[in-house]
Chains A and B, each alone.
Chain A
Amino acid sequence: MNRRFLYFVERNFLVWRKLLIPSLVANLADPLIYLVGFGFGLGAMLGPVGGRPYVTFLAGGMLCYSTLNSATAEALYSGFSRLKVQRTWEGVLHAPMTITDVVLGEWVWAALKAVLSGSAILIIMYGLQLVHGFRPLVVLPLLLLLGLSFAGVALIMTTLAKSYDFFTYYFTLALTPMSFLSGVFFPLQQLPAPLQTVAWCLPLSHAASLARGLVLGDPMPWPWLSVLVLATYGVAGVSIASRLAYRRLTK
């Protein structure tokens, strides 16, 4: 296994470091607003959900939702800027780097950014005293898996896109429905049985199930199956994206 993709991760990291402060503020402020607004506002009108306050339940889902959004935004918008607008990928290919190196670099980088966003939620959960102790920290490796899973799928869209407008379809037709089907904002059990079956085919429901299991100690129905589903989405996504990138760039 070569590690050339790390050079591209390094490149993205060095650029990100320049915008560290605004990036961190966005990472913390955005989810905080959601959690406080929905969690406490909506939560005050709801009884306990899954045996605990709604805000705690929601935070477990937000952990995944935020990771999903962060991985997706980086792979789609920033990735597409580098692929098409800035021609960064093309430039790197003049050096001894391959298209696979670049796609892997984008994949891992988007996942690392997603870990950061997920960690921000975890910090807020500690801050709001929704979780205690060290046990919830075991979710950190899971966040990386979530990031790789969602970034892998998003990169398919990036390598297919002709313009940024294309991503609207992905959000409207794929991500938004998925986030309402996957037990992020309300328990999956609220859905009719056929929709629950659909939901268990999607990565986000497995993500939410694992996250609540690890952070809040909820029962996880099929933990290893969930890990497998997430890994499959991620690896299949990045493999397809890599092929599409070859088709697109070696024309």
Chain B
Amino acid sequence: MSAVAPVLRVDRLRKAYGGRDVVRDLSFAVQRGECFGILGPNGAGKTTTLRCCLGLTNPDAGTLELGSRPIPQAAREARYRVGVVPQFDNLDPDFTVTENLVMFARYFDIPARVARARVPSLLEFAGLGDRGASRIDALSGGMKRRLTLARALVNDPDILFLDEPTTGLDPQARHLIWDGLKRLVAGGKTLILTTHFMDEAERLCNRLCVMDNGSIIAEDTPRGLIERLIEPIVVEVYGEGVREWAERYARDVVERLEVTGETAFCYMHDAGPLQGRLGHAPQLRALRRAANLEDVFIKLTGRDIRD
């Protein structure tokens, strides 16, 4: 048991919209210095959970504590020590990059002079060193995202909430954001992030939970989830006739088999027996790999599309 109080504690949170529970009976705690991930398909309740944690929407039941303050009662005070990167950018288009940072600091009671002194290091952190005078609409999607991250740091927060921080970005931009986030964790900040990118979660999070239909269905370290919940080896087999091949030759030598479209996902501890069975169908192609978080996620939440 940790003697230190968690920086975020969510206990039996419930939130309903129009009679439907979006978040139900949700409990978790985040310790100082952790990067905690909330994974889930669209509509799982991730954003609603974050909004409740920040006091931006009132829960129907449950208790929340952020930085040992009760939420939503003391949400405004708690936000002095918090930074937020929302899912959709809401940078101020009437201001330049620098003005965005300075004005946002003002909302934290930070004098403009102090805020202006912080701008260069924030811009540097965000890789926007020479963009201080740019207008917001002149920035690329990745730059806007990084500026939003820099804006979330103007008050030097202890805790950062990031709602899908890299959705819609190209790989280069995502890696740049990830580097920034890793530096923040190394610097002792607590991060709470939602994502539906498994590689993002695997790379960044010390611990994560998988949410579906408003509830947490698994919680552990990324490695722990993979080791506990899924067979270590995956062979993906694809090509014409894969369905018949899988039923006839694979079913009895793998531990779990999923066929979707033209691909068979075979899960097992030992791929040896399956190798031989592939000889029965030379038209099929096979890819052997280690199980990852995405396999866990799909196993837990299914392959159906969520909208």
Could you list which residues of chain A lie within 8 angstroms of chain B, going by C-beta atoms?
4, 7, 10-11, 14-15, 18, 86-88, 90-98, 249-251
Would A94 and B88 count as touching, CB distance under 8 A? no
Interchain residue pairs with CB less than 8 A apart (20): A4-B107, A10-B103, A10-B106, A18-B94, A88-B90, A88-B92, A88-B94, A90-B90, A91-B90, A91-B91, A91-B104, A94-B79, A94-B84, A95-B108, A95-B155, A96-B107, A98-B76, A250-B56, A251-B17, A251-B57
Query: Is there an interface contact between B54 and A94, defined as CB atoms closer than 8 Å?
Result: yes
Q: Which residues of A contact B93 (CB under 8 A)?
A: 86
For the residues of B in contact with A, the DSSP-based class is: loop
Across the interface, A96 reaches (CB within 8 A) one of B76, B92, B95, namely B76
Q: Give min CB distance, B109 to chain A, whole Å.
A: 8
Candidate in A7, A94, A96, A97 with the most chain B CB atoms within 10 angstroms = A94
Residues 32-87 (chain B) with a chain A CB within 8 angstroms = 54, 56-58, 76-77, 79-80, 83-84, 86
Looking at the assembled complex, report how far the CB atom of A88 sits from the nearest CB atom of chain B, in whole angstroms. 6
B99 interface residue (CB < 8 Å to A): yes
CB distance from A222 to the nearest CB of B (A): 42
- Chain B's closest residue to A246 (CB) is B58
Determine the chain B residues whose CB is within 8 A of the CB of A92 once the complex forms. Answer: 107
Inter-chain contacts of B77 with A (CB < 8 A): 96
Q: How far is the CA of A251 from the CA of B94 in the complex (A)?
A: 27
Chain B interface (Cβ < 8 Å from any Cβ of A): 17, 54, 56-58, 76-77, 79-80, 83-84, 86, 88, 90-95, 99, 103-104, 106-109, 152, 155
Instruction: Tell me whether A94 and B86 are in contact (CB under 8 A).
Output: yes
A91 to B79, CA, bound (A): 13
Q: Which residue of B lies closest to A102 (CB)?
A: B107
CA distance A88 to B76 in the complex (A): 17
* Other-chain residue from B79, B88, B107 in contact with A7 (beta carbon distance below 8 A): B107
> Closest Cβ of chain B: how far from A91's Cβ, in Å?
4
Chain A residue nearest to B148 in the complex (CB): A91
CA gap between A15 and B95 in the complex, in Å: 7
- Chain B nearest CB, measured from A240 CB (Å): 20
- CB neighbours of A97 from chain B (8 A): 76, 107
A94: chain B residues within 8 A (beta carbon): 54, 79, 83-84, 86, 152
* A94 to B79 Cα, complex, angstroms: 7
- B92 and A95 within 8 A (CB): no
Q: How far is the CA of A4 from the CA of B54 in the complex (A)?
A: 19
**Distance in angstroms between the alpha carbons of A30 and B185 in the assembled complex:** 56
A7 CB contacts on chain B under 8 angstroms: 106-107
Complex A-B, nearest 5 residue pairs according to Cβ-Cβ distance, in ascending order: A95-B107, A87-B90, A91-B90, A94-B84, A15-B94
CA–CA, A97 and B77, complex, Å: 9
B116 to chain A, nearest CB (A): 13
Nearest-neighbour CB distance to chain B for A108, whole angstroms, equals 16
A15 nearest CB across to chain B (Å)? 4
Interface centre among A18, A88, A92, A96 (most CB of B within 10 A): A96
Point out the residues of chain A lying under 8 angstroms from B108, CB to CB: 95-96
Question: B13: shortest Cβ distance to chain A, in Å?
Answer: 15
Task: Return chain A residues, CB-CB under 8 Å to B54.
Answer: 94
Please measure, in the bound complex, the distance between the C-alpha atom of A91 and the C-alpha atom of B152, giving whole angstroms: 10
**In this complex, what residue of A is CB-closest to B109?**
A96
Contact partner of A250 (CB less than 8 A), chosen from B58, B79, B83, is B58
A225 to chain B, nearest CB (A): 38
